[in-house]
Structure 1
Amino acid sequence: MITLSIQKCCNCSKPFSYKEIFCSIWGGYRAIECNYCKTKHFIDTSNKIVFGLFLFPFFFYKGSYRIVVIVLWISLISSMSPFFVKYKIDKK
């Protein structure tokens, strides 16, 4: 069984908020800083590619309700994305 859960901090295991992750994705994949331990988390590059691939195909849809289909698809994918996108601590 698949369970949807918001990612937790890799350092202190406190969960990020849905809003933090959602705004990070739509803000150009900016880093998220944990509110408790102040560790910065960066989105995994593979997640950027997957997210883009989910949005890309519907731009070629040629039906009569093209705009409606695209808006609904983007809304669905973006509302679900905080449950699937994974962040990591950058170890430079």
Structure 2
Amino acid sequence: MLNIRLQKCENCHRQFKWNEIYISFLSGDKQLYCRQCQTEHKSTFRSRLVYYCVCALIIIPLFYFTIYRHDFSGASVLIYFLGIALTSFLFPFCAKYRRFQNDEEITFS
């Protein structure tokens, strides 16, 4: 199910800001740190997969209409960039992050 609200920190329940999630996404970084409690969250594979599938569903038909049909009009290029921009701007609302627990090695003495 699609979650329209921005996610909260799993530790302190502070809601992440849209720009925090968006900057993390644009930088290619899969981590998101809570500014209040410094808890590290990592994006789930499922949320990244959904985003890439949605982008593919937009890109593939647009490539078909622009390259194979030789329709390089300004309208088709504009629709292409608007589709990509829309999906990237909506990603922070659909992204899922889980708290990352760095399990330290246990050594037996």
TM-score bracket, normalised by the shorter chain, equals 0.7 to 0.9
Q: Give the count of matched residue pairs.
A: 91
Provide the TM-score with structure 1 as the length reference. 0.86
Task: Name 2:54's counterpart in structure 1.
Answer: 54
Provide the TM-score with structure 2 as the length reference. 0.74
CA deviations 1:18-77 (Å, max 9, x no partner) are 100011111114311111111000000111111001111232321534321211111111
Find out whether 1:71 has 2:81 as its counterpart.
yes
**1:30/1:23 Cα in 2 relative to 1: closer, same or farther (>3 Å)?**
same
SS of the aligned residue for 1:56 comes to helix
Task: Name 2:42's counterpart in structure 1.
Answer: 42
Task: Name 1:81's counterpart in structure 2.
Answer: 91
- Percentage of identical aligned residues: 25
Q: Name the CA distance, whole Å, in 1 between partners of 2:50 and 2:58.
A: 14
Q: For the aligned residues, what is the CA RMSD?
A: 1.8
**1:20/1:84 Cα in 2 relative to 1: closer, same or farther (>3 Å)?**
same
**1:73/1:6 Cα in 2 relative to 1: closer, same or farther (>3 Å)?**
same
Bigger radius of gyration, 1 or 2? Answer: 2
Task: Name 1:28's counterpart in structure 2.
Answer: 28
**Aligned-partner residue type, residue 45 of structure 1:** F
Gaps of at least 5 residues in structure 2 are 104-109
